[in-house]
Structure 1
């Protein structure tokens, strides 16, 4: 068996945008591959607290690459790595997003706290069936309990360029989901899903070449490039497709199930 670890993005990949949960066919296929002996990892921009109960149906991953690579856990919830934002990085984001009244949230262990634009996050979450466990953090004090290990904002690309002009020395990355989208993961310079894949492969005693990564967005590009086999969904962004080794089916109705059957037919 050439590939021994399967990393799956959630939104737009494992969960088609039209669905509240992942399709049952996807869950059953991933479970079949796992029973064959392939390790399963969820690689998502969501924090672990943002993956609600029932979202993955019966899937029980062996590993988690969350917050765009900022939070790595095993299947029991034990943290394997955590990359927290610094005070300077966080305050620069808050100051800039406040100046332009742009929605901004941070990922902590218990929830995603919207420091700016909570109502806008709620509206967009409902529109896309995301249910990402966002709470109102308008008081902007939860970082006094712990520093966040992820950030997400709605920011036009020209504003992101302005941020880099002012704070580029911090090295923060704005990783957009799709061309035309203003939603992006914001990570430290050396933190992304590609690094998460490499770290997770090492924990599992594998090499990146033994991993399959499946994603759809610009924020999946580092992971698709790092994997032995990177597969971009047909509904994915052009950047994801360019970074991938091949193009897969559309996420809907159950594209991940189709991929699993193709890659590991012996599991079925």
Structure 2
């Protein structure tokens, strides 16, 4: 059965962590498989407006799975599925993170806002390419317009147990980016795999015809849901276990190498 859909995480998969944009080799390979008829979806923990066009270069996805599956869009930006946090979930996070002065942000439909310790997030983002994507939300009033899709934060791994002792009944999940203190914070319902199901239904594609590529804990379920799950080398232990195989890391343009292996016909023009 030919693969008809390719889903790609951004950070650590398409784009090396310390680079501002997706390397040209990855961009051109993704565009080549699209021209060959393969649909492409970006599957990321970022909200849609937290992904600058310049970051992806000339990649123009057919679908978006954003906010770790809570925001699913087509190429035109039309929502196919959305899932928001409840006010109780959001307020619990704010109370806890403020008590310990941990950094906390939320993904909204117009971009990410940092509610607690914005200066820390600004310093970290500035050190990773010089562009700060998150907005200063320390007035803590953005949610009065609409609720966020998901949250992201920085805290010691062991602090999660303290949160769950007090707020475990909310079912929030903390998915860390490896050994770093950064994490996505998701509701019980949201997951990239659910976003994949939405796209497969809309496009009439069997999940067995999907290749999913990722590197982090929030990629595990989409890697197992796809017909072929691929974790980039150096990915999280959980993602490596969930995947069917690996590909070279982002710094070596592993996505481009994978595309050439799985869809060689998309690159036949290079032989002439």
Q: Is the 8 A contact 1:50 1:132 kept in 2?
A: no
Aligned 1:1-268 pairs, distance under 5 A: 2-129=2-129, 131=131, 133-178=133-178, 180-268=179-267
Deviation of the 1:131 alpha carbon = 4.2
Give the count of matched residue pairs: 267
Deviation of the 1:132 alpha carbon = 5.9
Moved over 4 A (4+): none
Write out per-residue CA displacement over residues 40-64 of structure 1, whole angstroms, 9 at most, x where no aligned residue.
Answer: 0000011111101211111000000
Write out per-residue CA displacement over residues 111-145 of structure 1, whole angstroms, 9 at most, x where no aligned residue.
Answer: 21110011111111122338462111111011001
Question: Secondary structure at the residue paired with 2:102?
Answer: coil
Question: Secondary structure at the residue paired with 1:30?
Answer: helix
Structure 2: segments with no counterpart, 5+ residues: 268-272
Q: Is the 8 A contact 2:80 2:198 kept in 1?
A: no
Deviation of the 1:253 alpha carbon = 2.8
Q: Give distance in 2, aligned partners of 1:199 and 1:143.
A: 26
> Which has the larger displacement, 214-223 or 126-135?
126-135
Deviation of the 1:226 alpha carbon = 1.1
Aligned to 2:270: none
TM-score, length-scaled by structure 2? 0.95
Over 3 Å counting, the alpha-carbon distance change for 1:131 and 1:3 in structure 2 is farther
TM-score, length-scaled by structure 1? 0.97
Q: Give distance in 2, aligned partners of 1:8 and 1:211.
A: 11
Q: Give distance in 1, aligned partners of 2:130 and 2:3.
A: 30
Deviation of the 1:33 alpha carbon = 0.3
Structure 1: segments with no counterpart, 5+ residues: none
Over 3 Å counting, the alpha-carbon distance change for 1:130 and 1:254 in structure 2 is farther
Deviation of the 1:202 alpha carbon = 1.5
Question: Secondary structure at the residue paired with 1:252?
Answer: helix
Question: Secondary structure at the residue paired with 1:45?
Answer: coil
Deviation of the 1:183 alpha carbon = 0.7
Question: Secondary structure at the residue paired with 2:54?
Answer: coil
Deviation of the 1:264 alpha carbon = 0.3
Q: CA RMSD for the aligned pairs?
A: 1.2
Deviation of the 1:234 alpha carbon = 0.6
Q: Give distance in 2, aligned partners of 1:18 and 1:69.
A: 24
Q: Is the 8 A contact 1:176 1:185 kept in 2?
A: yes
Q: Is the 8 A contact 2:20 2:129 kept in 1?
A: yes
